[in-house]
A and B are shown apart, each in its own frame.
Chain A
Amino acid sequence: MKRATLAVVILLALFALPMVASGYILYLANLLMVFVVLSLGLNILIGETGQFGLAHAAFYGIGIYTAVLLNNATGAPVLVTLLAGASLAALIGLVLGAISLRMRDIYLALSTFAFGEAVRWVFASWTPVTGGPNGLRINPSNLFGFKLVTDRDAYLLVLVVTLAFLLLTIQITRSRLGSAFRAVRESEIAAAAMGVNVRGVKIAAFALSAFYAGAAGGLFTTFSSFIHPESLGFMTTIMVLTMIVVGGLGSVVGAVGGALILGLFSELLRQLLSFQEIIYGAILMLCMMYAPRGLMGLLERKQAGR
């Protein structure tokens, strides 16, 4: 009951935010929600299913470029551009998942990393389409004929979509598929012995995770005016990975918490761009050493009274 009350209060506050907050705060809120969707997606693949796919930024970028190109060329409704970006990312994720079936652990991590870098290279080199290293201007998105120009305009859309993804994640986690994800993570042999379709489950995790990343990309385009391939490299994947590790792998609340905390952090540290990587590295290391199960692990331990 108390939890439900808390959830309602938070929801009301989130919907009321545009009435009191400045444009910068709303920009920050939009950005944090994009991080939340990214984290939820990567958590499905790494936290729930235990597959170390490290191409999240590439799927994020595919979502961004698809949405931008579609929007700039046709002015299609934002929900269409968003869904197109997410679907294309999911499709490519599905193919990557199918190709990666034979690999695991470090080999899987390395090959998906290589895939991510290859995609970034495409973003940076395919100048006629992506604008190459010069980047691409993003025209305002179109929501039922209404142009989303400012962060304030986009806020409610970003909020509603993020909440939808949060609900979807909770549903998946509690479903049969969610159980299958975790069983594959714990023991592929035992999962197969239970009649779980291990290959299908792995591919589904890849595709689903890419769908989230693509949708996050689409959301990004609703409040941003420019995209540059530099921001879609491995560093972004590592940042999202840090978010879910700090939050606690395999926990939905952890993924959201990690995204909010580290997202704020990265915004505060924006002036210290070159130090960011060192700081992420340090956070990741400290987390592995002292809180291997992340903030959720610390919380549970506190509740258990230890």
Chain B
Amino acid sequence: MSDLLALEGIAAGYGSIQALSGVSLRVTTGTIVALLGSNGAGKTTTLNTISRVVPLTGGRILFDGEPIHELPSSRVVMRGISQVPEGREIFARMSVEENLVIGAHVRRDRAGIAADLERVCDYFPVLKSRFRQMAGTLSGGEQQMLLIARALMARPRILLLDEPSLGLSPIMVQQIFKIIRRLNEDGLTVLLVEQNARLALAVSQYAYVMENGEIRFEGRSADLVKDDGLRRTYLGV
């Protein structure tokens, strides 16, 4: 299997603050890769550099073997990288349907968009029943589902998921992760940022652990789960 996404020694910062230094990671096609670490470790910044919301100060990013770190963010979406941002960045005063349709904003194939609307609702049946409702009236879990569904509407090859479990009830978290696993089984590659390490290691095949803007550990998720020292020090499991 080849690498769909590769970060090679990337660096980024906000003003004089160095947020990332020398971060390298690989995401193999068809896998779920977890990016773990505590608050402020640089996980979200890493995702934001991939989607080109935060500029790089060093290193390069390859998608499917081609450099993407100089493209504008809309081009990155077109190439097949969709980010599900942390928090609830939904379009609150727009209907659920319109939220989904705008997820396909970079696409022009009307028939394909209509078909994907059906397909996405297949993964998230609850959204279908709320189609005409304003997105702001959805529950927290439903909003998270809408965010993922909206990102899928761009027909991505890789999904960048930022803390999908944040602020959700345990039952809702279970549901969301079940869907993430199903999406992956259907062929979607996922880079998952998560604070809930136990959950992330259970669903992913490979994982990286970040601290202070650097990668500290990496390995197969099944091995990291068994590493007691790592678990206690970095993952708090």
Q: How would residues 70 to 101 of chain B score, 1 for a CB under 8 Å from any chain A CB and 0 otherwise?
A: 00011001100001010001111110001001
Pick 7 A–B contacts, CB within 8 A, sort by A.
A182-B91, A186-B93, A187-B89, A187-B91, A190-B85, A194-B103, A194-B154
Within A190-212, which residues are at the interface with B (CB < 8 Å)? Answer: 190-197
Contacts of B93 in A (CB 8 A): 182, 185-186, 250
Q: Which residues of A contact B (CB under 8 A)?
A: 176, 179-180, 182-183, 185-187, 189-197, 250
- How far, in Å, is B77 (CB) from chain A's closest CB? 4
User: Chain B's interface: helix, strand, loop or mixed, by majority?
Assistant: loop
Partner of A192, one of B53, B94, B98, B150: B53
Whether B74 pairs with A190 at a CB distance below 8 angstroms is no
Contacts of A187 in B (CB 8 A): 89-91
Residue of B whose beta carbon sits closest to that of A50: B93
Whether B51 pairs with A190 at a CB distance below 8 angstroms is no
Contacts of B77 in A (CB 8 A): 193-195
- How far, in Å, is A174 (CB) from chain B's closest CB? 10
If A182-B94, A182-B98, A186-B91 touch, does A193 touch B105 (CB 8 Å cutoff)? no
Known interface pairs A186-B90, A191-B102, A193-B53; 14 further A-B residue pairs with C-beta atoms within 8 A, sorted by A's residue number:
A179-B98, A182-B93, A182-B98, A185-B93, A186-B92, A186-B94, A187-B89, A190-B90, A190-B91, A191-B91, A195-B74, A195-B106, A196-B74, A196-B102
- How far, in Å, is A193 (CB) from chain B's closest CB? 6
- How far, in Å, is A201 (CB) from chain B's closest CB? 10
Bound form: Cα–Cα A250–B98 in Å: 15
- How far, in Å, is A189 (CB) from chain B's closest CB? 6
- How far, in Å, is B151 (CB) from chain A's closest CB? 8
